[in-house]
Amino acid sequence: MKASRMLVVLVAVTVIVALAGSSPVWAAGADTNAGTQVDNSVLLSFDAGQALGNTASSTASFKVDRRVLFTNTNATASTVDVFPGDVGNVIEFDVVNDTNGTVDMLITLTLTSAPGVPPSLLSLVIDSDLDNACTATDVAAGTLVGAYLDEVGEDEIRTICLVLDAAGASVQADTYGYTIDAQAALGGVAGTLGAALINANPDAWEATTVQSNFGDGAGYSDAQYDGLFSAHGVFYVVNVNLIMSKSISGVSNTAPWVGPDKAIPGSTVSYRVVVDNQGNGDADNVSVLDTLSPNIEIGTDVINIVSSGATATSTTDNLAPASDTILWTINTLGSGSSVNLTYDVVIP
């Protein structure tokens, strides 16, 4: 009987030692909510000969601590091109809560770089319909109320929209840089920003206290395990500067003449039209209309129409030869790109 009783007592001691350790087996699961109370009980009973033995029980309890883990990242490209005067330019940021419980997120916007001309309007907007996309409806809803995300649930993703209306006086290569910091705060009361969470990583474990243990990584400008996560976005002002030139590249005679070629009837004259994009932004739907001399008929006198990097189409107005034209269309002319249109005309 004594051996049996000794065995039971040893089991109870083993349970106590396990609870006092720092192993993650404390929690019933990896996502057990912070503040959950875990109770483990042990019952002792025994016989004492013909006498009725007494019974005893002991319960060891602890509260699950808060694992603070979240990210704040660009959901769109970290650099967005804007044209002077453009409105509603958006950079999206996704805040993902991997904490084992609901938290609030204090959001702070910091200007990191800007030219002399400020944007005409800048605002932070929450994704109000929670579809993780910044839509016109979200932008119209206005700025982020109180600059915090309220009651972000476990494993929930919240999207923040950084919206900029570029000033009309902005110039090419102006850069507007912004950092968004998300700071974890205590959740639990809707409509109220909770207190910033305190890192208890170096503190001793307390069985009856819910401690916050930081596991967040380093963001754009913050350190690891600091309860912050920062992300950066840049609005880059672009412009389109198209330069066009037209030149005669040569004349050739169709019959032998004495001396150099001349622009005489029957000769061929070569034209070259060049369009350069000297800006830092792309130009879309470019159209060049080349009106020909009334002495040239496009159907019979214009030959060898060739374009490089674009589409050249010729159109003829049958009402009057004088309105004969070559219409040259360019879907997209990228920054620093150049395209050429060449064609020959035969002098009637």
pLDDT in tens, 180-230: 999 999 999 999 999 999 999 999 999 999 999 999 999 999 999 999 999
What DSSP string describes 152-215?
Answer: E-TT-EEEEEEEEE--TT--TT-EEEEEEEEEEEE--STTSPPPBP---TTSPP-TTS--EEE-
Distance, in Å, from the CA atom of 69 to the CA atom of 182, rounded to the nearest integer, reads: 12
Tokens found for residue 57: 């029980």
Report domain 242-346's class: mainly beta
CA 184, 187, 192, 197 torsion: positive or negative? negative
Tokens, residue 223: 């350190």
Higher-pLDDT residue of 30 and 89 is 89
pLDDT bracket for residue 167 (50, 70, 90): confident
Residue type for 143, please? T
Q: What is the pLDDT of residue 309?
A: 82
3-state secondary structure of 3: helix
pLDDT value for 317: 56
β-pair partners for 191: none
Whether the CB-CB separation of 210 and 34 falls below 8 Å is answered with yes
* Eight-class DSSP state of 27: S
pLDDT band at 231 (very low <50, low <70, confident <90, very high): very high
Is residue 25's pLDDT more than 60?
no
Q: How confident is the model at residue 53, as a pLDDT? A: 65
Place of tokens 């990584």: 217
Instruction: Find the mean pLDDT for residues 116-122.
Output: 80
**Per-chain mean pLDDT for the chain:** 83
Nearest to 174 by CA among 283, 76, 82: 82
- Taking residues 280-304, what's their average pLDDT? 86
pLDDT value for 139? 81
| pLDDT score of 18 | 38
Residue range 125-153, pLDDT digits in tens: 888 778 888 888 888 777 776 789 999 99
Per residue in 41-97, pLDDT (tens digit) is 999 887 777 666 677 899 999 999 999 999 999 988 889 989 888 888 999 999 999
- Report, as an integer, the average pLDDT of 6-33: 43
Q: How far apart are the C-alpha atoms of 156 and 154, rounded to whole Å?
A: 5
User: Once rounded to an integer, what is the mean pLDDT over residues 289-303?
Assistant: 85
pLDDT score of 323: 60
- Output the pLDDT for position 316: 63
Domain boundaries, the chain: 2-64, 68-237, 242-346
Give the mean pLDDT of 274-287.
Answer: 88
Quick one: average pLDDT of 308-335? 75
Fold of the domain built from segment(s) 68-237: Immunoglobulin-like (2.60.40)
pLDDT of residue 68: 95
Q: Which residue has the higher pLDDT, 213 or 322?
A: 213
Query: Does the fold of domain 242-346 match that of domain 68-237?
Result: yes
155 compared with 293, residue with greater pLDDT: 155
Pairing of strands 268-277, 338-346: antiparallel
Q: Is pLDDT at 324 greater than 50 in this prediction?
A: yes
- Compute the distance between CA of residue 142 and CA of residue 246 in angstroms, rounded to an integer: 50
Return the minimum-mean-pLDDT range out of 29-38, 55-64, 162-171, 311-320: 311-320
In this prediction, residues 24-51 reach a mean pLDDT of: 74
pLDDT at 272 > cutoff 90: yes
pLDDT bin (cut points 50, 70, 90) of residue 104 is very high
Q: What is the pTM of this model?
A: 0.70
- Is the pLDDT confidence value at 7 over 80? no
Q: For 98, phi and psi rounded to 5 degrees?
A: -105, 10
pLDDT band for position 233 (cuts 50, 70, 90) = very high
β-pair type (157-165, 121-126): antiparallel
What is residue 19's predicted lDDT score, i.e. its pLDDT? 37
What is the rounded average pLDDT of the residues 244-271?
A: 85
Cα distance between residue 137 and residue 134, in whole Å: 8
- Predicted pLDDT of residue 145: 66
